[in-house]
Amino acid sequence: MTLSDSEPAPAVDPEIRAERAHLAASRAALRRMRDDVLATETPAVFGDWVSTQVLQQARALRAEALEDIPDTPLFFGRLDFEAGAVFEDGDGHRTADRIHIGRRHVHDEHGRAMVLDWRAPISVAFYRATPQDPMRVRTRRRYGFDNAARLTAFEDESLTDGAPGGDLLGGELLTAEIERPRTGPMRDIVATIQPEQDDLVRAALDTTLCVQGAPGTGKTAVGLHRIAYLLYAERKRLSRTGVAIVGPNRSFLSYIRNVLPALGEVDVDQTTVRELLETVPVRRVDDTGAARVKGDARMAEVIRRDLWSQLREPAETLVVQRGSRRWRLYPDELRELTDELRGRGVAYGAGRDLLAHRIAHAVLSRMEAAGEACDDRTHDQVRRSREVKAAVAAIWPKADPVKLVLGLLTDADRLASAADGVLSPEEQAAVMLPGRPRGPKSARWSEADLALIDEAAALIRRPESIGHLVVDEAQDLSPMQCRALGRRAASGSATILGDIAQGTSPSATGDWPTLLGHLGKAEARLAVLDRGYRVPAQIIGFAARLLPSIAPGLGAPVAVRRSSGALRLTPARAGSLPDAVADACREGLKREGSVGVMAADADIADLHRALGAAGLDAGVLGETDDALEAERLVCVPASLAKGLEFDTVVAVEPSRIVAAEPRGLHRLYVVLTRAVSALHVVHAEPLPEPLR
Ligand SMILES: Nc1ncnc2c1ncn2[C@@H]1O[C@H](COP(=O)(O)OP(=O)(O)OP(=O)(O)O)[C@@H](O)[C@H]1O
Ligand 1 in reach of 192 Cβ (< 6 A): yes
Ligand 1 in reach of 194 Cβ (< 6 A): yes
Rounded Cα distance between 307 and 405, Å, is: 9
Rounded Cα distance between 49 and 635, Å, is: 48
Q: Per-residue pLDDT averaged across 569-579, rounded?
A: 94
* Residue numbers belonging to the annotated binding site for ATP: 213-220
Q: Ligand 1 centroid to 481 CA: how many Å?
A: 26
Q: What is the pLDDT of residue 415?
A: 98
Ligand 1 in reach of 212 Cβ (< 6 A): no
The tens digit of pLDDT for each residue in 229-263 reads 999 999 999 999 999 999 999 999 999 999 998 88
pLDDT at 292 over 90: yes
Q: Ligand 1 centroid to 223 CA: how many Å?
A: 11
* Residue numbers belonging to the annotated binding site: 213-220
The tens digit of pLDDT for each residue in 348-377 reads 999 999 999 999 999 999 999 998 888 999
Residues linked to residue 493 through DSSP beta bridges, in sequence order: 468
Q: Ligand 1 centroid to 485 CA: how many Å?
A: 24
- The domains of the chain, with CATH numbers, are 14-180 (no CATH), 209-275+464-532 (3.40.50.300), 311-395 (no CATH), 537-691 (3.40.50.300)
Ligand 1 in reach of 197 Cβ (< 6 A): yes
First and final C-alpha spacing in the chain: 50
Q: Which amino acid is at 294?
A: K
The tens digit of pLDDT for each residue in 189-212 reads 999 999 999 999 999 999 999 999
Q: What is the pLDDT of residue 167?
A: 74
Q: Ligand 1 centroid to 137 CA: how many Å?
A: 27
The tens digit of pLDDT for each residue in 428-487 reads 999 999 888 888 888 999 999 999 999 999 999 999 999 999 999 999 999 999 999 999
Atom of ligand 1 nearest to the CA of 643: 27
Q: Whose CA is nearest to atom 18 of ligand 1?
A: 218
Q: What is the pLDDT of residue 485?
A: 98
**pTM, rounded to two decimals:** 0.91
pLDDT at 312 over 90: yes
Q: What is the pLDDT of residue 43?
A: 63
Q: Ligand 1 centroid to 623 CA: how many Å?
A: 25
> How many CB atoms sit inside 10 A of residue 557's CB?
24
Bridge-based pairing of strands 567-571 and 675-683 is parallel
Atom of ligand 1 nearest to the CA of 502: 25
Is the predicted ipTM greater than 0.95, yes or no? Answer: yes
- Strand intervals (E) in 159-288: 209-213, 243-247, 269-272, 282-284
Rounded Cα distance between 645 and 665, Å, is: 19
Q: Whose CA is nearest to atom 25 of ligand 1?
A: 215
Rounded Cα distance between 407 and 329, Å, is: 33
Least confident of 36-50, 256-270, 578-592: 36-50
Ligand 1 in reach of 534 Cβ (< 6 A): yes
Q: Whose CA is nearest to atom 23 of ligand 1?
A: 216
Q: Whose CA is nearest to atom 30 of ligand 1?
A: 218
The tens digit of pLDDT for each residue in 132-178 reads 999 999 999 999 988 788 899 999 999 987 777 777 777 788 888 78
